[in-house]
């Protein structure tokens, strides 16, 4: 795993934790142990946000 992939995963994890901790983002966590559609949507969103943040930083540094 390269450094960029690791960095994206770390940022995505932090974003996801913040989103899950904020009850205003989603109506209710599903009862199927974070495997529901709502949770999967938040995971995908966190990964996309992390990737965009890294892309912006890399463009700014070039």
State the residue for tokens 């390269």. Answer: 2
pTM of the model: 0.64
Angle at 24 between CA 23 and CA 28, to 5 degrees: 50
pLDDT tens for 1-56 read: 688 888 888 888 888 888 778 767 665 555 555 566 777 788 888 888 888 888 88
For residues 56 and 40, give the distance between their C-alpha atoms in angstroms, rounded to a whole number: 24
Answer yes or no: are the C-beta atoms of 48 and 39 closer than 8 Å.
no
Answer yes or no: are the C-beta atoms of 29 and 38 closer than 8 Å.
yes
For residues 45 and 62, give the distance between their C-alpha atoms in angstroms, rounded to a whole number: 26
């Amino acid at each position: 795993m390269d450094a960029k992939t690791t960095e994206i995963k770390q940022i995505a994890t932090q974003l996801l934790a913040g989103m899950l901790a904020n009850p205003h983002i989603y109506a209710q966590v599903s009862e199927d142990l974070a495997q529901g559609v709502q949770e999967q949507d938040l995971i995908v969103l966190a990964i996309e946000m992390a990737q965009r943040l890294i892309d912006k930083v890399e463009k700014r540094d070039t």
